[in-house]
Amino acid sequence: MKKNKEETLRNALESPNPSTRLRAALAVGSDPHLDLSEVLVARYAEEPDFYVREMLTWALIQRPSNALLNELRTQLRNPLPQARAQTLHIFSKLAGFAPLEIWNLISEDELHSPDTDVAMAAWRAAVAVAPQDQYPRLVRSLITQLDRAEPAAHKALARAFLSLGQEATAALEELSSPLARAMLLTMDSMDSGDQENISAAQRVRNAGRFVE
């Protein structure tokens, strides 16, 4: 019976209908007797629907294990950026399960990835699992990303710096560069929700790209 159910769900996860795939992922995550993590991991690497990917993530984090971490680790070498970004997204959800193990899996390649989605996912995961004594190293790594042009990346980087607290603020203040000042403005704005300061930060940042 279990084998038949697993086969049915495997087929459903490959359905051309996203609603069918979503229901299949929900069913897998809801049944503690099923062991289809390998199928879920393979599926999210190419799943085009955002909501299905989120359900696949939910299903995977229901039963965290070292075996799951090993399966996820292989996806960091996947040539598809989506596979790497989604893996890092899942790592951030598993931060409470194995923070040190996950921290050791996140390399500079992910933190500095030219793919924006991969880099942003890496920043979120890294700040979620970094040991406090590694904050200086992480801050130094993230500072090298200040010249990211995409607004989404700039805001994601600001959120990462905010999560790292005074360690990040002090390092940015020491730089005294236009890009660092723009980041500090954005961080202040995100704390206060001040749209005027966000616009000012964007102007400072854009100017800094030409004078540095």
- Is residue 209 predicted with pLDDT exceeding 70? no
The per-residue pLDDT for 34 is 86
- Determine the average pLDDT of the residues in 154-178: 93
SS3 98: coil
Confidence of residue 147 (pLDDT cuts 50, 70, 90): very high
pLDDT of residue 200: 42
pLDDT at residue 189, as a whole number: 85
Could you count the other beta carbons within 10 Å of the beta carbon of residue 81? 16
Residues 79 and 116 in one domain: yes
Distance separating alpha carbons of residues 187 and 61, to the nearest angstrom: 31
Please indicate, yes or no, whether residues 139 and 88 belong to a single structural domain of this protein.
no
pLDDT of residue 198: 41
Whether 159 and 199 share a structural domain: yes
pLDDT-derived band at 35, boundaries 50, 70, 90 = confident
Q: Which residue, of 63, 86, 115, is where some domain finishes?
A: 63
CB 147 within 8 A of CB 118: no
Same domain, 47 and 6: yes
Taking 70 as the threshold, does the pLDDT of residue 157 lie above it? yes
Structural domain including 20 reads 1-63
Q: 181 near 211, Cβ under 8 Å?
A: no
Domain identity same for 146 and 193: yes
Does 173 lie in the same domain as 143?
A: yes
pLDDT of the residue at 2: 66
- How far separated are the first and last CA of the chain, in Å rounded? 65
Q: Are residues 12 and 56 in the same domain?
A: yes
Q: How far apart are CA 153 and CA 147, in angstroms?
A: 10
Co-location of 101 and 176 in the same domain: no
Same structural domain, 103 and 162: no
Kindly indicate the confidence band of residue 172, based on its pLDDT and cuts at 50, 70 and 90.
Answer: very high
Closest residue by Cα to residue 110 from 149, 136, 83? 83
CATH at residue 36: 1.25.10
* Structure confidence at residue 192 (pLDDT): 61
- Enter the tokens of residue 206: 């854009």
In this prediction, residue 32 has a pLDDT band, given cuts at 50, 70 and 90, of confident
Q: What is the mean pLDDT of residues 181-187?
A: 93
Domain count, the chain: 3
Please say which residue of 108, 129, 150 terminates a domain.
129
